[in-house]
Amino acid sequence: MPESAPAPDPGFDVVVLGAGLNSLNLTIAFHQEYGMRSTVVCRVPVEMNERTVTADTVVLGKGASDEAMRDALVDLAAKRPEGRPALLLCNADSLIDFIDRFREDLEPHYLLGQVPRATLERLADKAEFAEICQGLGIATPPTVIVDFSRAGEPDWNGDDELPWSFPCVGKAANTAEYSHLSFEGKKKVYFLESAEDVRDTVRRLREAGFTGRFLFQELIPGDDTVCRSITAYRSSRGKVTLLCAAQVLLGEHTPDALGRPAAMVTGSFPSLTDAAARFLDAVDYVGFANFDVKVDPRTGEECFFELNPRIGRNNYYVTATGESVARHVVEDLVLGHDIEQVVVTEPVLYSILPVRLVLRYIRDAALRDRVRRLARTKLANPFRYRPEGVWMKAYATVSGLNFVRKYRAVYPRPTDTGF
């Protein structure tokens, strides 16, 4: 682990659950804003978390139960000076569910900034999300919802023909529920080119014992650059204090990570940030949120796909603009007051990919020129965070080369659908 000079004590602690970039980007935000090292608690260590200057890692072991994780968190809290506050954060749906299930055990020891279970279950379900958007006049893609808990009933719609032409997209309504399923051919997002593909997907889900809701959606055409990401924070007192939107340039394309942004450009997207704020206010949301949006190139309509009830894996695209995500949760939960709303418009190129690789997939000449300009002066890669040691900088290079090989294998050239 790289050595670093002792930092001033910020007066509070931060514990982040989970490993990988999900937690690294959060610990970078706190290190950059407060000069502090967070504590990462995970079952299986990832070397980037063990090598970073931004955190210390507590490893529980692959087979550790949720109860063991709860006990480890309580033990950590017992080592703190009495009265010293600590934030408990995470960035994965399953871990958000963990915190909610053990809220009574954890709340005496940690500041928890997330929505209660009833709201969480409602928002984590993509079908519920679409219904809320419709009530607020926020556009969503045309969707058919299939409830697999009713499979085999006379009026079940799982065998019905879809009301639009192919290709279309399929995905589970609730990713946390779906994550526990294991079967051959499992994907995060399904690109379905025929009615036979739909029938095969339905069959596989039934055979795997899936009992949740599954969404089939009309495919909005366009490559990855029609996608948008919005990161927001709404305080425990009901004020949206942070809004930041970005245009996706290139997403990951391996089956288990399809749709996950890997390169983005931040900027001014007022219609998106306004809609996000209206949604969060309407459901009385608390904490960090991340919205996925696609702009229909045929109409210009901005279609909201889902709300992830967490900050999102690539949240460093916010911190890199100069607006630390850490500040918003600290001011709210540790210091106990709201700050003035910040709508980020500063342009920054966030990328965990080599810039040359990103440029290869951008077909719009004006956007390509803009990316080239930003790459010269405003390029942000969390693996190249300046205080990090030699290992992390070498990892950035090796990771970039691995991505080049992956894209050659699974997405060798841009397509009109992004698949």
Identify the pLDDT of residue 3: 52
pLDDT of residue 7: 66
Residue 161 token pair: 């023909």
What type of residue sits at position 156? W
pLDDT at site 263? 98
d(CA 378, CA 59): 35
- Distance between alpha carbon 199 and the CA centroid of its chain, in Å? 30
Q: Give the pLDDT of residue 121.
A: 79
| Distances in whole angstroms, Cα of residue 274 to Cα of each of 96, 172, 240, 318 | 26, 27, 11, 17
pLDDT tens-place string over residues 362-415: 999 999 999 999 999 999 999 999 999 999 999 999 999 999 999 999 999 999
Q: How many residues are present in the chain?
A: 419
Instruction: Check the CA dihedral 316-121-129-169 and report its sign.
Output: positive
H/E stretch holding 294: strand 287-295
Those residues of the chain that have pLDDT short of 70 are: 1-7
Q: How far apart are CA 198 and CA 156, in angstroms?
A: 15
What's the token pair of residue 26? 């959060």
* Torsion over CA: 206, 212, 216, 222 (sign): negative
- The confidence score (pLDDT) of residue 126 equals 81
Q: What angle do CA 170, 171, 177 make, to 5 degrees?
A: 155
